[in-house]
Amino acid sequence: MKDDQTVIGVDGCPAGWIAVVWQGDQIQAKLFELGTFARILGEAAAIIAVDMPIGFPDTYGRNADIEARKAMSPHGSRVFPVPCRAAVHAANYSEAIRLNKIHSNNVSIPPVTNAIRPRMQEVDKVMSREVELRLCEVHPELSFALMNGGKPLQHKKKTAEGEKQRLDLLHASGFPTIDWQQMGYRRRDVKRDDIVDACAAAWSARRILEGRARHFPKTEERDSCGLFMRIHA
């Protein structure tokens, strides 16, 4: 389905995926269980932006992540290195580490990256050259940096100061006010920073739709499956 003006921002959450639908001056949050990411593609939206890697290298590193970390300096660690494609689809953590070391100059995979490998797999399963016309990779911290005049945010997102700074930037950028009562999910299912990040993803989705997004890297880079390896913001 497609709506020429509606965009969606998606972020992972403990229960699965939280999708913020932005239509006109209204936003609505929808929760999708883990394993049902493909259902999000059935939503009526012109652009869907997800905070999850799309496109995987066969060896170490993507220029997308290298350029994004430069833009996020001195907080470049907020953009993590993406494993090689073989490691992403490994059967278990030990095998993922083994394959990544073989293909990526003996680089291992930290537990925090391994924890989202199932999500990477889930998104990768729905990807195609046709789907990537609607489904784009974003990084909320890059989005907030652009809202902040190109300066990465000092406070971490899970702190009170960090949340306020991000909400203020969303408001100043013209994003609709978040109705936290409507976002009344259990914290064990959806955390507040998940929703804020999904809103930032929706903000970047709007920029993609309007042709105003920045791209990391600027040049076109595709993986061995022909998929873009590019972060939009």
pLDDT digits (tens, 9 = 90+) for 38-56: 999 999 999 999 999 999 9
* Mean pLDDT along residues 50-65: 94
Please state whether 28 falls in left (phi above 0), alpha (psi between -120 and 50) or beta.
beta
pLDDT digits (tens, 9 = 90+) for 126-162: 999 999 999 999 999 999 999 999 999 999 999 999 9
* Mean pLDDT along residues 95-123: 95
Q: Per-residue DSSP letters for 57-84?
A: -SSS--HHHHHHHHHTTT-GGGSPPPPP
- In the prediction, which pLDDT does 2 show? 59
* Mean pLDDT along residues 60-89: 93
Mean confidence (pLDDT) of the chain: 95
- 108 burial type by CB count under 10 A (0-12 exposed, 13-18 middle, 19+ buried): middle
Cβ partners under 8 Å of residue 128, min gap 6: none
**Residue 1 neighbours by CB distance under 10 Å:** 8
Q: Is the model's pLDDT at 12 over the cut of 60?
A: yes
pLDDT digits (tens, 9 = 90+) for 69-78: 999 999 988 9
Radius of gyration of the chain measured on its C-alpha atoms: 17
- Identify the weakest region by mean pLDDT among 149-153, 180-184, 192-196, 197-201: 180-184
pLDDT digits (tens, 9 = 90+) for 95-107: 999 999 999 889 9
Q: Is domain 1-78+116-233 given the CATH code 3.30.420 in the classification? A: yes
Name the residue among 63, 122, 129 with its Cα closest to residue 89.
Answer: 122
How do the domains of the chain map onto residue ranges?
1-78+116-233
Q: Is the model's pLDDT at 229 over the cut of 70?
A: yes
CB 50 within 8 A of CB 138: yes
Q: Is the model's pLDDT at 180 over the cut of 90?
A: no
Helix axes 140-147, 192-209, angle to 10 degrees: 70
